[in-house]
């Protein structure tokens, strides 16, 4: 992993909701793999001090004078508001590429990308790579409303088949992605699913995938203190290999991509009854 102060190459408003920032870092761009993320540090003097994690949207390897990484985000709080104010030539302190990437399948050919809201972001980079390695890519994006679909035009370009679902019916299917999923799987002959989005969506996509006997790789989110594996804030409950016990694993280094079948979706790790844990730390 690399820690660097990088220059912002460009800022673009992608839609009413989404902002795109392109960051110059040949080193990070070179090393980056789909599903990985960056830790972006707030500028000095702010009352919010922790890095914010953002998936890598795309990597730009064209041209040889600058190789850039792109992030796409919506404004949630002070950190993302500050990010959206970055302009060309501003600098930002970046750590990346962080986390375990999606695994590119060796045997399977037909890949379905399922993205919920801003969760679609890392699936563009993945889709590009899958296509580059000759796989079939299909796309299923869901969101609350049309303006919250990430880059729908690019999504259509990416997918052999592309479908949208919105909660309010403003674009595509009026409802949830999971309502379209079984049919998509059939029509596309899906052999592997990659999903990123809200927790409940990932749980449902995993369930449906497994019911169809298809492996599901999920990219998960959790509040992160450090993004590099040293604080233990970002854990997910994960079954061990033989399914006998659950332990907390770090989203930032053991994930963010997990095997959906191994995530203990609705379980919390029970405290061993004799252990009383401190209030802090």
Partner 1 sequence: MSEQKVDLSVDLGGFKLKNPVVTASGCFASGREAAEFMDLKELGAVVVKSMTIDPWPGKPTPRMAETPSGMLNAIGLQNKGVDHFLAVDLPWLVSTKVPVIASIAGNTVQEFMLVAEKLRRAPAVVAVEVNISCPNLEDRNNMFAHDAKATASVISAVTRMVDKPVFAKLSPNVTSIPSIAEAALDAGARGISLINTVMGMAIDIDTHQPKLAGVVGGLSGPAIKPIAVRAVFDVHRAFPHVPIIGMGGIMDAKDAIEFILAGATAVAVGTANFINPAVGGEISRGIESFLRTRGFRSVAAIRGQVKIEG
Ligand X SMILES: Cc1cc2nc3c(=O)[nH]c(=O)nc-3n(C[C@H](O)[C@H](O)[C@H](O)COP(=O)(O)O)c2cc1C
279 binds, among ligand FAD, ligand FES, partner 1, none (CB under 5 to 8 A by kind): partner 1
Q: Which does 233 bind (CB under 5 to 8 A by kind): ligand FAD, ligand FES, a copy of itself, none?
A: ligand FES
- What 3-state class would DSSP assign to 275? coil
Residue 278: DSSP 8-state: -
Minimum distance, C-beta of residue 220 to ligand FAD, in the bound complex (Å) = 7
Beta bridge partners of 56: none
Q: Is 48 in the site for a copy of itself (CB under 8 A)?
A: yes
Of 49, 78, 200, 231, which lies in the binding site for ligand X, with binding defined by CB under 6 A? Answer: 231
Identify what 268 binds: ligand FAD, partner 1, ligand FES, none; CB under 5 to 8 Å per kind.
Answer: partner 1
| HEC string for 76-128 | CCHHHHHHCCCCCCCEEEEEEEECECCCCCCCCCEEEEEEEHHHHHHHHHHHH
Residues in touch with ligand FES (CB under 6 A): 224-227, 229-234, 250-252
**Alpha carbons 38 and 248: distance in angstroms, whole number:** 22
- Evaluate the CA torsion angle 100, 20, 39, 200 in order and state its sign: negative
User: b or e along 188-201 (b: 16 or more beta carbons within 10 Å of the residue's beta carbon)?
Assistant: bebbbbbbbbebeb
Asked if residue 230 lies in contact with residue 212, where contact means CB atoms within 8 angstroms, the answer is no
Q: Indicate the residue among 152 and 185 with the shorter CB distance to ligand FAD.
A: 152
Let me know: does 21 contact 71? Beta carbons within 8 Å.
yes
Residue closer to ligand FES, measured from CB, 37 or 102:
37
Check binding of 281 to ligand X (CB under 6 A): yes
Closest approach of Cβ 91 to a copy of itself, in Å?
Answer: 14
Query: Should residue 81 be labelled a site residue for partner 1 when binding is judged by CB under 8 A?
Result: no
Q: Which is nearer to ligand FES, 231 or 267 (CB)?
A: 231
Answer yes or no whether residue 93 interacts with a copy of itself by CB under 8 A: no
Chain positions contacting ligand X, by CB under 6 A: 225, 231, 281
Catalog residues that contact a copy of itself under the rule CB under 8 A: 45-49, 78, 82
């Amino acid at each position: 992993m690399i820690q660097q102060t990088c220059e912002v190459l460009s800022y673009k408003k992608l839609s009413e909701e989404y902002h795109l920032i392109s960051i110059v870092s040949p080193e990070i761009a070179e090393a980056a793999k789909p599903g990985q993320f960056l830790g972006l540090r707030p500028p000095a003097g702010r009352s919010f001090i922790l890095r914010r994690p953002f998936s890598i949207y795309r990597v730009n390897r064209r041209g040889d004078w600058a190789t850039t990484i792109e992030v796409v985000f919506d404004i949630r709080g002070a950190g993302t508001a500050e990010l959206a104010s970055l302009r060309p030539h501003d600098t930002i302190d970046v750590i990346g590429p962080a986390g375990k990437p999606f695994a590119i399948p060796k045997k399977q050919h037909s890949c379905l990308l399922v993205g919920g809201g801003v969760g679609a972001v890392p699936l563009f980079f993945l889709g590009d790579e899958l296509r580059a390695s000759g796989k079939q890519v299909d796309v299923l994006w869901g969101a609350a409303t049309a303006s919250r679909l990430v880059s729908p035009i690019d999504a259509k370009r990416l997918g052999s088949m592309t479908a949208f679902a919105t909660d309010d019916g403003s674009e595509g299917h009026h409802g949830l992605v999971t309502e379209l999923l079984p049919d998509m799987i059939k029509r596309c002959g899906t052999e592997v699913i990659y999903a990123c989005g809200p927790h409940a969506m990932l749980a449902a996509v995993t369930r449906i995938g497994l019911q169809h006997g298809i492996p599901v790789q999920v990219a998960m989110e959790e509040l992160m203190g450090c993004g590099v594996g040293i604080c233990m804030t970002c854990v997910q409950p994960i079954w061990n290999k033989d399914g006998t016990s659950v332990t907390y694993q770090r989203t930032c280094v053991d994930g963010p991509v997990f095997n959906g079948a191994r995530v203990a979706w609705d379980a919390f790790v029970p405290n061993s009854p004799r252990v009383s844990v401190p209030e802090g730390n």
